[in-house]
Amino acid sequence: MRSISLFFRSVAKSLFLVSSLSISIQAYSQSSSDANATAVQSTSGSAIAEPAAATAAAGDAGAGGAIFKQKCTSCHAIDRQVVGPALKGVTERRDNAWLIKWIKNSQALIAAGDPVAVKLFNEYNKAVMTPFPELSDEDINNILAYVDSEANKPAEAAGAAAGTEGAAAGAEKEGVSDWILGGLVVLVLVALFIILVLNRVIKTLERLLLQKQGVEVEEVESESTAIRFRRLAKNKKFVGFAVLLLVIFLGSLGWKTMWNTGIHQGYQPEQPIKYSHQLHAGTLKIDCQYCHFGAYKSKNASIPSLNVCMNCHNYVTASDKYNGETSPEITKIYKALDYDPQSKTYGDDPKPIQWIRIHNLPDLAYFNHSQHVKVAGIKCQECHGPIQTMAEVYQYAPLTMKWCINCHKTRDVNYKGNAYYDKIIAVHNQLKKGAQVTPAVLGGIECGKCHY
Amino acid sequence: MESNKKYWKGLEELKATPEFVENNKGEFAESLPIEELLSEAGLKTPTPRRDFLKAMGFGLGAVTLAACQKAPVHKSIPYLIKPEEVTPGVANYYVSSYKGYGVLVKTREGRPIKLEGNPACILGEGRLDAVAQASILDLYDFSKLKDPMLDGKEVSWNNIDSFVKGELNKIQAGGKKIRIVSSTVNSPSTNKVIADFVAKYPNARHIQVDAVSYTGILKANEASFGKAVLPHYHFDRADVIVSFGADFLGTWISPLEFNRQYVVNRSLASLKNKKMSRHIQFEAGMSLTGTNADVRIALKPSEEGIALLNLYAALGGGGSAPKLSNAKAATALSLVAKELLAAKGRALVVSGSNDIATQSIVNSINTLLGSYGTTIDIVNPSYQYLGNDADFIGLVAEMGRGEVDALFFLDSNPAYSSVASKQFTEGLSKVKLKVSFADRLDETAALCNVVAPVPHYLETWGDANAVAGYYTIVQPTINPVHNTRQAEQSLLLWSDNAIKNYYQYVKNNWETTILTGAGLTWKQLLQTGVVNAGAVTGAPVAGASAPTAVNAGNAGQSILAAAAALAKGGESATELTIYESVAIRDGSFANNAWLQELPDPVSKVTWDNYVALNPKYADKLGVTEFDLVKVEADNYSVVLPVLYQPGQAIGTASIAVGYGRTKAGKAGDEVGKNAYPFLKLENGSLQKAVSVKITPAGGKRELAQTQTHHSYEGRNIIRETTFNKYVQDPHSGSGSHGAEHPTYDLWPEHKQIGHSWVMAIDLNACTGCGACVVACNVENNIPVVGRDEVIRRREMHWIRIDRYYSFQDEKGTSLTEEDQIGELAESDNTLEDVTVVNQPMLCQHCDHAPCETVCPVIATMHSSDGLNHMAYNRCVGTRYCANNCPYKVRRFNWFNYWNDSRFDNYMNNEFTQLVLNPDVTTRSRGVMEKCTMCIQRIQGGKLQAKIEKRPLRDLEIQTACQQTCPTNAIIFGDRFDPNSAVSKALGNERTYYVLQELNVQPGIGYQTKVRNTVEAQA
C-alpha cells in the first residue's frame, strides 16, 4: 500500500512540475511571437509609407487608393488587364485632361469622336466603361497618383519581400507552436526521468538513514517484479477492483461507440476546391443567402452554381498573393467552366465540380431549410456552427433525431406577426394560457411531420 | 340501418362459396409453408441449435461490421450555370397538353414528375383522367429506342436523312404513291407540315386511321349535315341521357370531359337544388357508364339497332320497326320515349356503335328531340377522332397491288391494331421505303426499314385543336433524353422546308394564325397554354338538310340486315362485342405498368383481358370462371379465360382490345390476347359486334382480380337511396337522420389545435373512373407489383375503388330484403339486372384508429391535426395494424418493388426511377404503408402560408386524388374552418361514416348514392 501511495505522490508532484513548467514556457513563447508579429507589421508599414511620400506631390495616393479600391478594381488592375486595360503607365500614355474627361464620361468622349477614345473603345470590344461623374478632378488626380505610386513601386520586389516576410512570420508562428508541443513532450519525459531518479535517491537515502538508525530494512528490491505481480494477482480485492475498472472502461467505450454509430459530428472531408468560409463569410462578410439562395425558399439550401462564383471571380483572382498568377483554387473554377480568363470566353467542355456532401441527413427524414430559416428565423450558425470561422467546413451538429427533438421541445415558435399562426395560437391560449409555445406543442414532434 | 339491401363485390361473395369463406379467414391468400419448414429443414435436422447459433453469430458479426463502415461519401453536384427559374427543391410548373387536354407539368430539377390538369382547359377544367395521369411514366420507359435505325442497325440521323431523301426523290420521279398513315392528327402545325410535305412530293397523301374508330359517326354526320366530324356533346345540358352501348364515362370520345359534364346534374350542389339528371343505359357488356346508370337494360348488340328504330318510331319519327324480342327492353323503351319527349331540348341520345346507319338513326332521333344546338354542338365540332376505316382498307389494297412505294407511320401501329393486319403485313413487304415514327420498336416499326424514333410529348413542341375554336400548345419540359427527333422535324427536313426547325415552325404558325385572333403573344401563350376562341354560334343544323324519314328508312333497312346477320347463328352462336378497356384503351399505352395494374373499373381485373360472360350463360356453355375458352370468328380465334360478369346480357360476350401486344416492352408484352382482328369491315366502317362460337379450350388461367380482396364480412358499407326518397327526406338512406352517432372514449380526449384534416367523398359523384388511383400512384411512389402478386392479394394501391353489385328485380326496383336476393340468386334470375355502386376506399384516418393501439413499436400514431401517421422506419412489419384495420386499407411491402429484379417490368432501372417524387420516401421491404392524405402536400401548403405570413386558404392544399378527380367527388380540407368546402360537404344530410358503429370515428365522410330510378318517377 505504501508503494502505491508513494507512487501517487510522485505522480502528483511530477504533474505539478510539468504543468508549471509548460505554462511558463507557453507564456514566454506567446509574448515572443507577439513581439515578432508587431515587428513585421512595423517594418511593412514603413515600406509602404516610403514610396507614398515620394509621389505625394501630384495627388494624395492614400486617398486615391481608397477610391480606386472602391470604384475601379472590379474592372482594372495596375499591371494586368482585367475587364479594362492595365493601368500601369497610364499617366504617361495619356495626358491628364483627357484622362479626367474619359473617366468622368467615356461615352461622351467617344461620341465627340476623339480618335484615341474611339480606338480604345473598339480595341476593348466596345465594352462601355461606367461613367463616374461624381468624381471630382481632385479625386481623379488622387487615383492617378495612387496608380503611379503602385506602378512605380518596385512592385515585384516589394510584393515578393512582403510575401516572404509574411510567410516567414507565419512559419515562425507555426514553428513556435510546434516547438511548444515538442518541448512539452520532451519536458514531460525529462521530468518523469528526474522523478524516477529522485525517487531512487530518496529511497536509498531513506534506507541509509534507517540503517544508520539501526533499523533492519527488508530487501524489498530483491523481490522480482514477477513475484510482486503474482502476489498482486492473488489479492482478491485488487483483482476485483481492476476487473471492475476494466468493465466500466470497456462498457463505456462500447456504449459510446455504439451510441455514436452513424453520427458524423466533426466530419470534415477534403473538398475539390479549398473554399474558405472563413474568408468569404467571415472576413468579407458575404451574406449566406448570396450563395445559398435556396435556404429561404426551398428545402435545399443549395450549393451555389459556378456562375455565382463568377460574379466576383470574373475579376477577383487573388493574384496579389500568388505573384500575379491567378490563385490555383480560383483556376479550378475557370477550369470547371472551361473559361479562358485571357480572352474571357467560355469553352464547350465544362465539367461540374463534385463537392463532398458534409451534412448527410438520411433520406427518411424530411428537412426543409425555408421552414427553419425563413419562418422560424433561426440563424445558420445555430445548426452549422461558427461557419464564418471555418476555413474548411465540418459537421458541427450531430444531426441526430434527439438533437432535432430537443430543439423542437425547447424553442419558442416564431409566431409573432405571422398571420398563419393567429388562429392556432388563439386556440392554444384558450387551452393553456401562458404556456410556452414550442414546435412540439403544435405537433412538431409527431412522426409524420418529418417522416413521409 | 334502414336498408337491408345486400351488396356484394363478386359472385363468390354473394354465394358465399366455401373457398371464399375459407380464403377470407386467412391472413394470406396462400397458406404459408410453416409446416413444411418445420418438418423438413427445420427442427428435425440433427443440429438445429448449433445452426441457429451459427446463424446468430454470423448475423451479429455482419451487423457489427456493417455498422463499423465509414459513412458513404455522397457527392453534391450543383449546376455549372443554374437556370434562373430553377431552385433546387422547389417544383416548377409548365403548361403543355396531352391529346388536347391542357396539363400542368410539375418538374423538379428539370425532370417532369407529375401531371395535373390545366384549370384553363375547357375540356378538363384542371382535371385529368387515369390515362393522362399515367402518360408521364412513358417518358421514362426503358423500352424506348435510343437511336434511329436503318435496316435494323443503329445509325446517325445524317444517314437516315440522306437515305430517306434519296429514296423519296427516286419514288417521286418513278411516280409511285407515297402515303403517310397516322392516327387522328388535330394539331394545326402537324397538319401544316404534312401539307407542306405533300406539296413537295405530290404523290403523297395523308391517311388517318384510328385503332378504335368513330367512322360511323363521322360518315353519318357527313350524310346528315355535310360535315364528317364528331359533334361536341354537352352532357351537362341534358336532363335525360339515353345511351346505347356508348361508354362515354369510360372510353367514348372524350371521357374526361364527359365525366365532368355528367356530374354537373348529379353533384352535391345539384341535389341541394333538388335536381338530378336521369340516365338510362342499354348495353350488352357491363361498362363503366352502365355501372353509373340509373337504369341499365342488358341488350344484345343485334337488338341495339332495332331498339333505336323502335325509339325513333315511338318518338314520332315514323318508319316501321320489328318488335324487340327482349320484353323488358321494349317496355323500358316506351317509357324512355315518353321521358325523352317530356325533356325535349334537354335530352341526349348517344350510341357507341360504329355503324353508319345506326348513327344516322341516332342523328334523326336527336333532331326530333331538338338536341342540336342544346345538348349537341355540331357547329363547333370535336376533332378528337377523324380516322376513316375505308381509307385504310383502300390503302391495304393499294399496297397489295404494289402501287405504294413509300409509307410513313406516325403514331400508328397497324401491324398490331389493324383489322387487316395480315394483308397489311403482306402488302408492306412490297413497299420500298417504310418509315416508322414510333418511340419503340413496335409491331409495325419492326417491319420498317427506317425507324426514326420520336421523343415523348413532354420532350417536344406541338399543338392540338381538340374542339373547334379551342387550341392547346405542347411545350417541352425536358430535353430529349435519347437521340430522338420529332416526326414533324423529320418531315420538315425531308421535304426541304424553308423552316428547318419545328419550334420555329410552330411559333410562326401560331403567331400568324391563332395568336393574332386571340390577341396574345407567344410568351403569354406559354404561360396560359390554351387559347379558347369561343364557340361560334350558328344555325343548329348548318347547311345540310335535317335527316329525313327517307334516309332514316334506308338506314333502318341496313340496320335490320346487319342485326339479322349478327343473330343468324341463333342459339349456338354468341354475339361478341369488342370494347376498349378504361385503362389500356387502344393498346398504345400497353407498356405502362401503372395502367396495367389499374383494376378495370367494373371487373377489377388487372394485367389481362378476358371473355366476359354472364354466369348463367356460362353455365349454358358449360364453362366456369377462369376456364380457358376458344373464341372463334370466321377467320380469327383466340383462347382466353372466362370472367363471370354480372350484368352481361345473356347470349353475349365481351373482349377488350389493347392487349396481346408482342413488341410493346417489358410490361406490356404478352399480356392478354389481341382482339382487333375480330373487328369486321361492313358498310364502310368497322363493326364492333360479331358473331362467334365459344367452346371450352381446356385448362384454366386465374385472373388477377383485386376484388374480392379485402372483405368487410358483409357489413353495411354502402348507403343508397332513390332520388324520390331523397326529395322527401334528404337524410333518407344515410342511416343517420341527422343524429350524431354516440361516441365514447377509453382514453383522455386528445385536443386538436390548428387544423383537422378530413375528407368528404360523394358516392353519387364518383363514377369509378380510376383517375384517383393513378394520380395517387404517381404522387406517392406507389409500387406496381405485377400479376402474380395481385393474385396473392398484395396490390399496393393506397386508394382503391370498391365496386359493389346489388340486384334489381324484373320491375327495375331494387331488392332490399336479403331473403328476396337469396331467392333470386337461387332461382333462374338471369343476373342481367344488377346495379352497381362505386366506393373509393382509402385510409379513413380514424380518430380512434384501431391500427394505432395494436402496433407494438408505435410506428403508427395519431397526429394533432387528425391524421394517422405511419413512420416507415419504425415499422418492424408485424402487420398487426393491417389485421386490425376494419377498412382493409393498409398495405405491406413484401419486396423492394422499385429495386428488385423480379419486378423488372416496373422500376428496376435508374432511368425509370427518375419519375419518383423526391418528397416521398420509397418504402423498403418489410414495412407497412397506407394513405397519408398526401402529407407532403399538406406540409408544403402550410409552409407556403407560413412563408407568406397568411392564414391557409381553403382548397389551397389538395390531395392528389382530389386534384385529379374529374367529377370533384373527393373534397379534402380543414374541419375547423366552418366555411371550408369539406365542412359544408360533411354537413350535408346525405353524409354517413363507414362503419361508424365501431366508434373508430373515421375522418372521411361519404355521401349516399342517389339513384334516379323509374319508381322515383312514378
Cα separation, B566 vs B355, in Å, equals 13
A298-336 residue pLDDT tens: 999 889 999 899 988 888 888 778 877 888 889 999 999
Q: Looking at residues B566-581, what average pLDDT do you find?
A: 84
Question: Do residue B753 and residue A337 have CB atoms under 8 angstroms apart?
Answer: no
What's phi and psi for B189, nearest 5 deg? -70, -45
Of A269, A297, A451, the CB nearest to B73: A269
| A-B Cβ pairs (cutoff 8 Å, strict) | 150
In the predicted structure, residue B546 carries a pLDDT above the cut 70? no
Q: Is B375 in contact with B269 (CB distance < 8 Å)?
A: no
Question: Do residue A419 and residue B936 have CB atoms under 8 angstroms apart?
Answer: no
Q: What's the grid cell of residue B272? A: 341541394
- Which band of pLDDT confidence, cut at 50, 70 and 90, is reported for residue A373? very high
Neighboring chain B residues of A352 at a CB cutoff of 8 Å: 77-80
At residue B454, the pLDDT reads: 93
- Which band of pLDDT confidence, cut at 50, 70 and 90, is reported for residue B736? low
Question: Do residue B77 and residue A352 have CB atoms under 8 angstroms apart?
Answer: yes
The reply to whether B435 touches chain A by the CB within 8 Å rule is no
Neighboring chain B residues of A305 at a CB cutoff of 8 Å: 78-82
Of A350, A417, A420, the CB nearest to B951: A420
In the predicted structure, residue B815 carries a pLDDT above the cut 60? no
**A85-94, A433-442, B586-595: least confident range:** A85-94
From the list B983, B1002, B986, the residue with the least C-alpha distance to B994 is B1002
Residue spans of the domains in chain A: they are 2-39+176-259, 56-168, 277-410, 419-449
- Which band of pLDDT confidence, cut at 50, 70 and 90, is reported for residue B594? very high
Neighboring chain B residues of A424 at a CB cutoff of 8 Å: 753-754
Q: What's the grid cell of residue A71? A: 470604384
CATH class given for the domain over A56-168: mainly alpha
The reply to whether B14 touches chain A by the CB within 8 Å rule is no
At residue B486, the pLDDT reads: 92
From the CA of B877, how many Å to the nearest CA of chain A?
17
Question: Do residue B919 and residue A424 have CB atoms under 8 angstroms apart?
Answer: no
In the predicted structure, residue B937 carries a pLDDT above the cut 90? yes
Q: Looking at residues A32-61, what average pLDDT do you find?
A: 45
B363-382 residue pLDDT tens: 888 888 888 888 998 888 99
* Whole-Å CA distances, A268 to A263, A264, A288, B71, B73: 13, 9, 20, 12, 11
Cα separation, A192 vs A202, in Å, equals 15
Of B77, B869, B921, the CB nearest to A447: B869
B597-650 residue pLDDT tens: 999 999 999 999 999 999 888 988 899 889 999 999 888 899 999 999 988 998
At residue A160, the pLDDT reads: 44
From the list B432, B442, B458, the residue with the least C-alpha distance to B410 is B442
At residue A23, the pLDDT reads: 52
Residue whose cell numbers read 396495367 = B596
Average pLDDT of chain A is: 78
From the list B768, B762, B763, the residue with the least C-alpha distance to B985 is B762
Question: Do residue B78 and residue A420 have CB atoms under 8 angstroms apart?
Answer: no
Question: Do residue A370 and residue B73 have CB atoms under 8 angstroms apart?
Answer: no
Q: Which residue of A has its CA nearest to B930?
A: A452
Neighboring chain B residues of A356 at a CB cutoff of 8 Å: 73-76
Q: Which helix (H) or strand (E) holds B240?
A: strand B240-244
- What residues contact residue A266 under an 8 Å CB cut-off, 6+ apart? A394, A395
- Which band of pLDDT confidence, cut at 50, 70 and 90, is reported for residue A19? low
Residues 745-764 of B with CB under 8 A from A: 751, 753-754
Higher pLDDT, A162 or B238: B238
At residue A2, the pLDDT reads: 44
- Which band of pLDDT confidence, cut at 50, 70 and 90, is reported for residue B172? confident
At residue B303, the pLDDT reads: 87
In the predicted structure, residue B310 carries a pLDDT above the cut 70? yes
A385-430 residue pLDDT tens: 999 999 999 999 999 999 999 999 999 999 888 999 988 888 888 8
From the CA of A139, how many Å to the nearest CA of chain B?
39
Residues 940-999 of B with CB under 8 A from A: 942-943, 945-947, 949-952, 976
Q: Is B466 in contact with B185 (CB distance < 8 Å)?
A: no
Question: Percentage of chain A with pLDDT > 90?
Answer: 24
From the list B960, B988, B894, B97, the residue with the least C-alpha distance to B525 is B97
Question: Do residue B950 and residue A350 have CB atoms under 8 angstroms apart?
Answer: no
Cα–Cα–Cα angle for B14, B20, B24, nearest 5°? 115
Cα separation, B460 vs B794, in Å, equals 38
From the CA of B453, how many Å to the nearest CA of chain A?
27
From the CA of B922, how many Å to the nearest CA of chain A?
9
- Which band of pLDDT confidence, cut at 50, 70 and 90, is reported for residue B984? very high
A245-283 residue pLDDT tens: 999 999 999 998 888 877 888 888 899 999 999 999 999
Q: Looking at residues B437-459, what average pLDDT do you find?
A: 92
Of B921, B935, B947, the CB nearest to A375: B947
**B586 CB-side CA count, 13 A:** 19
What's phi and psi for B97, nearest 5 deg? -150, 150
From the CA of A85, how many Å to the nearest CA of chain B?
27
Question: Percentage of chain B with pLDDT > 90?
Answer: 46
In the predicted structure, residue B910 carries a pLDDT above the cut 50? yes
In the predicted structure, residue A13 carries a pLDDT above the cut 70? no
SS3 B320: coil
Return the percent helix, strand and coil in chain A, to nearest 5: 60, 0, 35
Neighboring chain B residues of A336 at a CB cutoff of 8 Å: 80
Q: Is B802 in contact with B707 (CB distance < 8 Å)?
A: yes
**A91-105, B18-32, B817-831, B919-933: least confident range:** B817-831
Tell me the β-bridge partners of B985: none
The reply to whether B65 touches chain A by the CB within 8 Å rule is no
Average pLDDT of chain B is: 86
Of A300, A368, A443, the CB nearest to B865: A443
In the predicted structure, residue B829 carries a pLDDT above the cut 70? no
At residue B685, the pLDDT reads: 87
In the predicted structure, residue A80 carries a pLDDT above the cut 80? no
From the CA of B748, how many Å to the nearest CA of chain A?
15
Largest CA distance in chain A: 118
Q: What's the grid cell of residue A339? A: 473559361
Question: Do residue A451 and residue B921 have CB atoms under 8 angstroms apart?
Answer: yes
In the predicted structure, residue B74 carries a pLDDT above the cut 90? no
Q: What's the grid cell of residue B145? A: 429506342
Cα separation, B939 vs A299, in Å, equals 12
In the predicted structure, residue B776 carries a pLDDT above the cut 90? yes
At residue B610, the pLDDT reads: 94
Residues 70-109 of B with CB under 8 A from A: 71, 73-82, 87-90
- Which band of pLDDT confidence, cut at 50, 70 and 90, is reported for residue A56? very low
From the CA of B594, how many Å to the nearest CA of chain A?
22
Question: Do residue B861 and residue A446 have CB atoms under 8 angstroms apart?
Answer: yes
At residue A15, the pLDDT reads: 54
Tell me, what DSSP letter sits at residue B203? T
**B302-306, B345-349, B549-553: least confident range:** B549-553
